[in-house]
């Protein structure tokens, strides 16, 4: 089995638990879980010093039963095929839960983008898309940003694909700049969606934004936008971190100043000396809302019992391991978890809007995007909480059950091609 490693193992164990609940016959499970296609490529580039480096790239297309596949592209030194496959699987359940006509996909290049010059980053981006040309397309597989990639990288992807086609093909990627066929609201969509769902969770547990506190792990696109949106709602942001630095201040941070600092320096380091704390300790500090917005497997059996938040809003994909889930389940009504495939779905929902607009060459207003995003998130939140309440399921199992059931229904009805 080529899909190994701790992250794919997590996706498999979550799936098996829910497959048991849904009574999915054992012989149908591999058809649902195992990716349809996985592509591994080598991306050679010229370095600025004249030498050549080769970076390994991947793309996993999980299932093709509901439409083209859709998913982000991650640039990170630790990217490996098992992780990419797990992220593709989660994308499938996420898209199905939100009612989008996509299977899940994910891609990645094993490179730390911070070690590249801008020219080298462009070279890796273009080379990766060049290598993927035979396997992607607006009706086959549509890419988007993820950790380590951004609007600029999406513009290079789109340009590389378009140069090959001989015409501009905006609909090949989402998360592009607005002036290159992107949509208003996409860059902010994931973080704003997180804040919107946190507000709904607060209503459920009778917590008011004013006077509440939040800690955000990861201060990139998702974490910084979620922090700013929560702050606008009156929540005090008492902790933030990125890969190298963690800060805590009970008085709360000026989020706009943090964002300005990161825009100027590329990271949180240097913002403050007196607020520095240990990054691992930040997750277990007291707060009302904990938002992991960085990477997988940060809430584990080692720290789950020490979490002191009331709401765990999973902005990152896969931040909580199944072992941690078991520990958190013991807190029953005392901790409200917004699981990743619901919590961060705002990104792919607005990506879907971007794809539709690009296909139609007709663009929506910011008001239309915001209202449609909120409507889609509200419907998913209502469906998940209703199933969780009715069946006594955790929010995670309820969200996964809805997504997995929808994919299963499509596969069963379409049948197995001989
Ligand atoms: P990003 O690259 O813009 O930011 C990532 C941030 O996390 C950076 O501040 C980085 O320093 C920090 N980080 C990385 N490893 C860390 C660690 N071990 N501890 C603390 N901080 C760490 O990425 P992003 O687009 O904001 O994505 C963040 C998460 O959200 C990822 O899990 C991604 O899969 C998920 N997500 C992103 C989107 C999107 O639209 N970008 C959509 C859905 C889910």
Q: By alpha-carbon position, which residue is closest to atom 35 of ligand 1?
A: 316
pTM of the model: 0.97
% of the chain surpassing 90 pLDDT: 98
pLDDT single digits (tens) 377-412: 999 999 999 999 999 999 999 999 999 999 999 999
Averaged over 316-344, what is the pLDDT?
Answer: 95
Ligand 1 mutation target, pool 60, 88, 293, 300, most atoms within 8 A of CB: 293
Pocket of ligand 1 (CB under 6 A): 145-148, 190, 217-223, 241-243, 279, 293-295, 315-317, 344, 347
- CA-148 nearest atom, ligand 1: 2
Q: By alpha-carbon position, which residue is closest to atom 41 of ligand 1?
A: 146
Report how far ligand 1's centroid is from the alpha carbon of 28 (Å): 33
59 has pLDDT over 90? yes
pLDDT band at 333 (very low <50, low <70, confident <90, very high): confident
Q: By alpha-carbon position, which residue is closest to atom 16 of ligand 1?
A: 243
225 has pLDDT over 90? yes
Q: By alpha-carbon position, which residue is closest to atom 22 of ligand 1?
A: 243
**Whole-number average pLDDT of the chain:** 97
Report how far ligand 1's centroid is from the alpha carbon of 228 (Å): 15
pLDDT single digits (tens) 246-290: 999 999 999 999 999 999 999 999 999 899 999 999 999 999 999
Give residue 331's pLDDT: 85
pLDDT band at 332 (very low <50, low <70, confident <90, very high): confident
- CA-316 nearest atom, ligand 1: 32
Averaged over 156-176, what is the pLDDT?
Answer: 98
Report how far ligand 1's centroid is from the alpha carbon of 29 (Å): 30
pLDDT band at 417 (very low <50, low <70, confident <90, very high): confident
- CA-318 nearest atom, ligand 1: 32
% of the chain surpassing 70 pLDDT: 100
Averaged over 373-377, what is the pLDDT?
Answer: 98
Q: By alpha-carbon position, which residue is closest to atom 15 of ligand 1?
A: 243
1 has pLDDT over 90? no
Report how far ligand 1's centroid is from the alpha carbon of 127 (Å): 23
- The whole-angstrom separation of Cα 210 and Cα 189 is 23
- CA-246 nearest atom, ligand 1: 20
Ligand 1 mutation target, pool 218, 226, 300, most atoms within 8 A of CB: 218
80 has pLDDT over 90? yes
103 has pLDDT over 90? yes
Phi-psi sector, 183: left (phi>0), alpha (psi -120 to 50), beta: beta
Report how far ligand 1's centroid is from the alpha carbon of 220 (Å): 6
Assigned token pair, 217: 């792990």
- CA-223 nearest atom, ligand 1: 26
Residue 408 is a catalytic residue: no
Q: Which of 94, 106, 176, 408 is catalytic?
A: 106
pLDDT band at 357 (very low <50, low <70, confident <90, very high): very high
pLDDT band at 418 (very low <50, low <70, confident <90, very high): confident
Ligand 1 mutation target, pool 77, 143, 220, 281, most atoms within 8 A of CB: 220
């Amino acid at each position: 089995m080529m899909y190994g490693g701790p992250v794919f193992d997590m996706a498999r164990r979550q799936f098996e638990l829910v497959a048991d609940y849904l009574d999915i016959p054992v012989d149908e499970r591999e058809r649902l879980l195992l990716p349809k296609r996985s592509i591994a490529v080598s991306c050679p580039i010229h370095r600025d010093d004249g030498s050549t480096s080769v970076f390994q790239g991947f793309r996993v297309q999980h299932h093709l039963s509901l439409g083209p596949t859709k998913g982000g592209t991650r640039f990170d030194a630790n990217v490996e095929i098992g992780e990419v496959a797990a992220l593709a699987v989660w994308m499938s359940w996420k898209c199905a839960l939100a009612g989008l006509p996509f299977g899940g996909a994910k891609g990645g290049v094993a490179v730390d983008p911070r070690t590249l010059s801008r020219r080298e980053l462009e070279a890796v981006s273009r080379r990766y898309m060049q290598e993927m040309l035979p396997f992607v397309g607006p009706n086959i597989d549509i890419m988007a940003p993820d950790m380590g990639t951004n609007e600029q990288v999406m513009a290079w992807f789109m340009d590389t694909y378009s140069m090959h086609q001989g015409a501009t093909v905006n609909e090949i990627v989402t998360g592009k700049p607005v002036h290159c066929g992107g949509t208003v609201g996409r860059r902010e969509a994931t973080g704003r969606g997180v804040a919107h769902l946190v507000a709904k969770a607060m209503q459920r547990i009778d917590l008011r934004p004013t006077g509440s506190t939040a800690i955000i792990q990861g201060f990139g696109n998702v974490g910084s936008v979620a922090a700013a949106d929560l702050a606008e709602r009156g929540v005090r942001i008492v902790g933030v971190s990125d890969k190298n630095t963690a800060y805590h201040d009970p008085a709360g941070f000026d989020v706009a100043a943090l964002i300005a600092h990161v825009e100027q320096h590329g990271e949180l380091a240097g913002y403050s000396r007196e607020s520095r704390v240990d990054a691992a300790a930040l997750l277990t500090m007291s707060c009302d809302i904990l938002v992991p917005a960085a990477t997988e497997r940060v809430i584990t059996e080692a720290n789950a019992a020490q979490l002191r938040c009331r709401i765990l809003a999973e902005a990152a994909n896969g931040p909580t391991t199944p072992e941690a889930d078991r520990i958190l389940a013991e807190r029953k009504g005392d901790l409200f978890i917004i699981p990743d495939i619901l919590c961060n779905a705002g990104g792919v929902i607005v990506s879907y809007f971007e794809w539709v607009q690009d296909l139609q060459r007709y663009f929506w207003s910011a008001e239309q995007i915001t209202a449609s995003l909120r409507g889609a998130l509200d419907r998913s939140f209502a469906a998940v909480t209703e199933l969780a309440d009715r069946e006594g399921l955790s929010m995670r199992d309820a969200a996964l059950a809805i997504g997995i059931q929808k994919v299963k229904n499509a596969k069963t009805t379409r049948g197995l091609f001989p």
